[in-house]
Amino acid sequence: MGSSHSTVAEFKSSMMSKFEMTDLDLLHYFLGLEVKQGEGEVFVSQKKYASDLLKRFGLVNCKSAATPMNMNEKLHQEDGTGQANARSFRSLVGDLIYLAHTCPDISILLVLFQGSVDDRKSTSGNVFSLGSGAITWSSKKQVTTTLSSSEAEYIATTTSACQCIWLRRILVDLN
């Protein structure tokens, strides 16, 4: 990828003379990401990855919801349900983690499912964007057990402020 077609062609030619490789032309699909390239623009989507995930786990005809679970639900380690198929569960969780890490609008939903009833720790989360795209996002269980939701929000705000200061310093260094 480059701004000069002749430089890109020269680079590809040089690489092909030194390494065994094939020019597949424009990128269309890579690591679950669909890539559509137009004049002066690149659009990246995970629609196909998410669709394939739904098909693989038999969830294509499931009813969609704006919030995938009850926001007031309190999670417990022992909730009375039977044990899930461990292999299938790990596969689904791994795919969802990959999807969430490469698609910030999905990962922010994970931040909103509050904390754990078992250890009483809340979850902090933030997303920072530059222009129209997210450049960093985070979702972590807080190290401190808080006594109120206000205290948990204060910790989350402090963590976000530290990230903001770090990003600002990086941007200043990059001019």
User: pLDDT tens digits for the chain (175 residues)?
Assistant: 677 888 988 998 999 999 998 888 888 888 888 888 887 777 888 888 888 888 998 888 887 776 666 667 776 777 778 888 889 888 888 888 788 777 765 655 544 475 666 777 888 878 888 777 778 877 788 888 888 878 888 888 898 899 999 999 998 988 8
Whole-structure pTM value = 0.48
Length of the chain as a residue count: 175
Q: State the DSSP H helix or E strand holding residue 129, giving kind and residue range, or none if neither.
A: strand 123-130
Give the chain's count of helices (H) and strands (E): 5, 5
Contacts of 11 (CB under 8 A, 6+ apart): 2
